[in-house]
Structure 1
Amino acid sequence: MQPDTASDASRRLRSIWISDVHLGTAGCRAEHLLDFLREHESEYLYLVGDIVDGWQLRKSWYWKQSHNDVVQKLLRKARKGCQVIYIPGNHDEAARQYCGLNFGGVAIRHEAEHFTADGKRLLVLHGDEFDGVIQYAKWLAYVGDNLYTLILQLNRGFNWVRHRLGLPYWSLSQYLKHKVKNAVNFISQFETILAGEARRRGFDGVVCGHIHKPEVRMIDGILYGNSGDWVESLSALVEHPDGRLEVLHWTALTAGASIEEAPEPIPSEESTCAS
C-alpha cells in the first residue's frame, strides 16, 4: 500500500528517526514500515532503539518475511550512502555490547549527536536509561511488557472488527495509555527529564523513543522529539531540508486507507520455533 497524497518534495528528507519497531513480535507493523522506507529517502537514518524485540524472541520465535525485508531495506539504504546509525534500546540491549562498531555500513552507538540543517545540536538516544522501572525494577518492566502484548493482541482483533464494519483504525492501546493517570504522568515526567538532560549537557534538543508517543515540541526552551513506534502510532520523526522537524504518521500519509489485517492466532508452544 502506497500513499497517494505525499508530494515528491515531502519524500526528500534530510533525516529520519524511527524507533520501537519491535521486529519479532506479532504487533510489529513491518509491512507499513517497509512502505514508509520505500517512499522516503534521507541523508541520515537513525534507528532509535527497540528495533528488534529480544524480550519476546527469547520466549518464542516469531519472524515473518516482512521483518526480514525491513532489515534488508535498512542495510540497502546504508549501502547506497545513507548514514545509518543504530542506537540499541532495552528490548534489543544485546546489541549494546557492539556499540562503537560498524556492521554492513550501520554504525552502532550508545547515543549520537546530530546537527540539523539550521544549526541545532541534538542528543539522540533511546531513553530507557531515564526510566526508573527499567533501571530499578526490571522484573516489573517484564510484567508490564506481557500485559502490553496482551492489549496489542486485543487491539488487533478489535480493529479487524472495525475494518469489517467500515470504520477507520483506532488504537485501543494508545487510548488506554493516554487516559490512565499514572501513564500520563509518567510520559510527562519522562519528556521533562529528557529535555532537562539535553539542557544539562549543552544540547539544543533531544530525540528519543521508548515510550511510543510521537511528539515534537519545545519544553522550557529545549526541543524535544520522540519518533513514536511501529506498533501503535506507525510514526517517524523527520527533518526537512530546512532543518524543520515533524512527526509523520503513516496512516495520515495513506489518506485514511485501511491498514488493518486479520488478527493472527497466538502461537502455541508447539507451533513456535526455537532456532
Structure 2
Amino acid sequence: MQTQFRSVFISDVHLGTKACQAVHLLDFLRSIETDTLYLVGDIIDLQAMRHKAYFVDAHHQVVERVLAMAKSGTKVIYIPGNHDAFFRQFAGQTLSGIDIQLHARHNTADGRSFYVSHGDEFDQMVKISPLMLAIGDKAHGLMLSLNQSINGIRRFLGLPYWSLAGYLKSHIGKAKEFIERFETAALKSAKSHKVDGYICGHIHFASFQMKEGILYCNDGDWVEHCTALTESTSGELNLLHWSENPKHLSTEPKLEGWELAPSYSRNTA
C-alpha cells in the first residue's frame, strides 16, 4: 500500500555516479503517492558524467518512475542544481510532463509559503572558493567510496544503513560551522523573500532549523543519507530516511499557534 503525501522534496540524487543510492530511491518512489514532487537539484550528475558515467539499470528505472508519476497526474517540478546546471537553460519549459524552474514558491496545506531552491546560490556567502570546492569534491568522493565499503560489510552482518558522512558532519567542527553558515544564509534569504521558510538541498545534510519564526528545511540527499522531505495532507513537514530500514527522522519544529497532525512514521529499525 502506498503512502499518500501532499508534496515530496528530494535532491542530490547524483544519478550517473556509483555513489547514487538508486535502489533505495526507487523503492521510496514506488511506495508513495504525492500531489507534487519537487526535484530540488543535482538529480543527474552531469559534472561527474563528463569524466565517467555510471548509469546502470536502477538509475534508468528511477528516471522512468519519475516520468510515470508525471504522466499519472503528479505535478513534477525540477529545479536544477550546480551539478545539473545545464538544464537551467530550459527554465520555464515543460519537458515530458516535468516543469523546469530556477526556483519555486510552495504553499503548504496550512497556508504557509516556502521558497524552494537548490542552495548553491549561497556558496559565495559561506565563502567556498572554487579551489576548496574542487578539493572538497575529491575528498567527498573518497568518503563515499569508504561509505559504500562500510555499508557493504554492515549489510553482510545484517546491520542497518549508516552514514559516515553524516557522522563526520555532525562531529567535525569545521563541517558544523559550514552547515550553520549555510543555514543562516538560507534563513536570511527566506526573510528577504518574505516567506515563512526555505526548502533546499545542496549540502547533503537533512535538517530543520527555526529562527525568528522562519523555518529552514533541508531535504538531504540520496548518496549518503537517503532522505526526503515530505508534506502531509494537513501541511506538516517531516524528514524521512529510506533504506533497508526506513524510518521517520524528525518533524518540523512547532511554532506557537500551529495545529499539526501526528507525524507519519515508518520505523522498522
Which bin holds the TM-score, normalised by the shorter protein? 0.7 to 0.9
Deviation, 1:254, is: 6.4
Tell me, in whole angstroms, the C-alpha distance in 2 between the residues paired with 1:147 and 1:163. Answer: 24
Question: In the alignment, which residue of structure 2 is the partner of 1:220?
Answer: 212
Aligned ranges for residues 107-126 of structure 1 at < 5 Å? 107-126=99-118
What is the alpha-carbon distance in structure 1 between the residues aligned to residue 127 and residue 64 of structure 2?
32
Question: Normalized against structure 2, the TM-score is what?
Answer: 0.88
SS at match of 1:118: coil
Distance 1:140 1:23 in 2: 23
Question: After TM superposition, where is structure 1 displaced by more than 2 Å over at least 4 residues in a row?
Answer: 132-140, 162-169
Cα pair 1:23 1:51 within 8 Å, conserved: yes
Q: CA deviation at 1:193?
A: 1.1
The aligned amino acid for 2:4 is R
- Per mean C-alpha deviation after superposition, the further-off stretch among 105-114 and 125-134 is 125-134
Counterpart position of 1:255: 268
Q: Which moved more, 1:213-222 or 1:86-95?
A: 213-222
Output the amino acid matched with 2:67: L
Specify the code of the residue in structure 2 equivalent to 1:39.
S
The answer for the alignment partner of 2:252 in structure 1 is none
Change (3 A) 1:99 1:184: same
Residue in structure 1 matched with residue 159 of structure 2 by the alignment = 167
Aligned partner of 2:254 in structure 1 is none
**Partner in structure 2 of residue 105 of structure 1:** 97
1:140 offset after TM fit, Å? 2.6
1:43-58 aligned at under 5 Å gives the runs 43-58=35-50
Q: TM-score, normalised by structure 1?
A: 0.86
My pick for the range that moved more, 172-181 or 223-232, is 172-181
* Preserved contact between residue 115 and residue 198 of structure 2 (Cα < 8 Å): yes
Question: How far apart are the structure 1 equivalents of 2:128 and 2:190?
Answer: 22
Once the two structures are TM-superposed, the CA of residue 66 in structure 1 deviates from its matched residue by 0.7
Alignment of 1:115-194 (within 5 A): 115-132=107-124, 137-194=129-186
Residues 79/137 of structure 1: CA separation in 2 closer, same or farther (3 Å cut):
same
Deviation at 1:203, TM superposition (A): 0.6
Alpha-carbon shift at residue 134 of structure 1 (Å):
9.1
Instruction: Choose from 7, 22, 34 the match for 1:42.
Output: 34
Alpha-carbon separation, structure 1, partners of 2:267 and 2:189: 36
What's 1:13 paired with? 5
Look up the SS of the partner of 1:126 in the other structure: coil
1:264 aligned residue? none
Partners of 2:25 and 2:156 in 1: CA distance:
23
Cα shift at 1:131: 1.4
Q: Per-residue deviation at 1:223?
A: 1.3
Q: Which amino acid aligns with 2:41?
A: G
SS in structure 2 at match of 1:218: strand
Contact 1:133/1:140, CA 8 A, preserved across alignment: no
**Quick one: which of 234, 238, 242 aligns to 2:230?**
238
Q: Does 1:78 find its partner at 2:73?
A: no
* Separation (CA, whole Å) in 2 of partners of 1:147 and 1:254: 32
Match of 1:23 among 15, 27, 51: 15
Paired residue for 1:4?
Answer: none
* Structure 1 unmatched runs, 5+: 1-6, 257-275
Give unmatched runs, 5+ long, in structure 2: 248-265
- Comparing 62-71 with 164-173, greater Cα deviation is found at 164-173
Higher relative contact order (CA 8 A, sep 6+): 1
**Counterparts in 2 of 1:136 and 1:159: CA distance versus 1, 3 Å:** closer
The structure that is helix-richer by fraction is: 1
> Do the aligned partners of 2:126 and 2:178 also contact (CA within 8 Å) in 1?
no
How far is 1:115 from its partner? 0.6
